[in-house]
Amino acid sequence: MNNKSNVLNAISWLFGFVVFAIGTLNVFWGNDPGFGVFLLLLSFVYFPPVNVMLKKMTGFSIHRIVKIVLGIFIIWAALGVGELFDKIDLMMTGL
């Protein structure tokens, strides 16, 4: 694999973990656990092994452009609609 592919895989792993963390936060400290479960499921799109498995099972994988647009939507929803910073404050006071 080349360096560009390694960097893209690292970014994909990192973003997948960030979305997974945001989803977990919404499940346990949010007022909408359904939104959190939705984010947890969407986070798997960004993990490279899931893409390989999807390619083997269905014959296609999710295109990088679709992942970028989906990522923008996830960040917008988590920050705006999901009130991420308020939930982080709630989580920190609960610890």
Q: What are the pLDDT digits (tens) for 7-59?
A: 989 999 999 999 999 888 888 877 778 988 999 999 999 999 998 898 999 98
Token representation of residue 60:
């296609």
Instruction: Summarize the confidence of residues 66-84 as an average pLDDT.
Output: 83
Structural domain harbouring 69: 3-94
> What's the domain count of the chain?
1
0.85 exceeded by the pTM? no
For residues 46 and 68, the answer to whether their CB atoms sit within 8 Å is no
Instruction: Give me the helix-helix angle, 64-76 and 33-43, nearest 10°.
Output: 160
